[in-house]
Structures are given as structure tokens and as C-alpha cells.
Amino acid sequence: MFGVVPKSIWQKTNPPDDKNLCTWAMRCLLLEDGDKLILIDNGIGTKQDEKFLSHYYLHGDVDLIKSIHDAGFSEGDITDMFLTHLHFDHCGGGVKIVDGKSELTFQNATYWSNADHWNWAMKPNPREKASFLRENLMPMEESGHLKFIGNDVISPFPNFEIILTSGHTEKMMIPRIKTNGKTVCFMADLLPSVGHIPLPYVMGYDVRPLVTLEEKERFLLEAADNQYILFFEHDPVNECCTVKRTDKGVRLDQVFKLRDVIG
């Protein structure tokens, strides 16, 4: 998760267990905007077999569907399923198995990707092949619910801009959302956690780490100057933060829960 950064340094922010594993979240974001109910990413899901799941030691008592219900909604209320990218831990929950057959978890939703990333996932390179699972992807296309953001659709929602990045994977989409006078950025894998704010902290998963460095630096400077709220998908402790410029570069400013600043 921290690439070339030595464990003696990164373990200060993300201490590993006796198997050298760190705890990570798969935190999604639910947006209500008029008649739209938009879910950003959907985690790993439950349909993978025991052997697959055993590699990742899933634990914790937070469940996506239960969280949606706790918010007062059902799966059928989701109108739009926005996927930052198609690695299994970001899109696996969008498809489920019922009576031995695959079906969409959110059957009334449009599933949003972009053509460049979709094509990248359909013909994966050897490095990423294990992250792009056809059982997660094909039901979206076969259902007719898949749509692409691109030439005709720059953004499917008002107050919702998209930053494209290609360091982690080809054309990952980072949502930048304006709400209540603030700007919230869903960080996906451009910035997995607070521990990844320093520029050299780049994941070994990234296909173009030098591009990630450039994208992170450009984004973090903009975020510091504009007081963006950074919403973390993978940080197990910190849901959101702001950043600030310092003599050592952009660094952490404040951490908080989204509801504490948005309401």
C-alpha cells in the first residue's frame, strides 16, 4: 500500500498486524440530489468464493446494504451507481448472485463508467488482470444499465465535476462535488488515506507511479488553496480531512466526519 516507502516509516500511521497486513476501509458515499440518489463505489461485495475472500481477511461489522437501509433507503432507490474505477474492491458490490445467477444489486440504477477505462478493464494488462473480474463487469453491460461518461456526457449530475487521473489505473474518475458552499472530493485510489498525503507515499498497485506523483501534487496544491474536503475511501480511521501548504509541502490540516461540516 505504500510502495517504496520503508515499513519503519509507514507503520507510524498504519500499523500492521503480525501477518504484515493493515486494516483498510471500503467507504462509499451516498448523495441525495433532488430525485437522484447517487452511490459512489460499492465495495467488494459478497459473491466471491471463500478462497478469494480469504486472501483479504474481510472483517468488521459495517455492511453497505445495511448502511443504505439505515439511511432510510433501499437498493431499489438508488438511481445512479457511479464507479470511480473497476477494480474489484470498488465495483464488486454492484452485482450479486441470486439463485445461482448474476443480477445487478441496484436494479433501477444507471451504472456509470467511461469508455477508456472500460476498454482498459476488458483487455487487462497482466499487472491488473487479477483486479478486473468479469463477473463484476459483464452483468453491467448485459443488463443494458451501463453508460459512459465522455464526449456527450461530461458529468451526469449538476454540481458534480469529474477529475480524470491515470496513475493508479487508466482514466480513474475522482468526483468533485459542490454542496452547501463546500467542495467534497471523493478520493478513491488517488489518495487512499491520510497516510498517503506526502508525495512519495504511492501504492505499489499503481500502474504509472510517476504519473500518480504528478497528479497528487497538482491535486493537493489545489485542495489546499481551495479548502477542499477530502473524503477517504480506504482510510480505516479518518473519514475526511482538509490539507494545507507547509514548508515541507502539502500536509494534513484537520480530520473530521463529513456530516459534521455538511450537515
Torsion of CA 35, 37, 38, 42, to 10 degrees: -160
Homologous superfamily of the 7-262 domain (CATH): Ribonuclease Z/Hydroxyacylglutathione hydrolase-like (3.60.15.10)
- 159 φ, ψ (degrees, to nearest 5): 60, 25
Cα–Cα distance, 20 to 11 (Å, whole number): 10
User: Which parts of the chain are beta strand (E)?
Assistant: 29-33, 36-40, 80-82, 95-98, 101-104, 110-113, 146-148, 160-165, 172-179, 182-186, 229-231, 240-246, 249-256
Beta bridge partners of 211: none
According to DSSP, residue 131 is labeled G
Cβ count near 260 (within 10 Å): 9
**pLDDT tens digit string along 155-207?**
889 899 999 999 999 999 999 999 999 999 999 999 999 999 999 999 999 99
Q: Which amino acid is at 197?
A: I
Q: How confident is the model at residue 55 (pLDDT cuts 50, 70, 90)?
A: confident
Q: Residue 120: which H helix or E strand, with range?
A: helix 115-122
Average per-residue pLDDT in the chain?
A: 94
**Spatial separation of the C-alpha atoms in residues 146 and 109, rounded to whole Å:** 9
Backbone angles phi, psi at 174, to 5 degrees: -105, 110
pTM (two decimals): 0.95
pLDDT for the residue 153: 66
Report the amino acid identity of residue 11: Q
Give the domain ranges of the chain: 7-262
The alpha carbon of residue 172 and the mean position of all alpha carbons in its chain are separated, in whole angstroms, by 9
Q: Residue 71 pLDDT > 80, yes or no?
A: yes
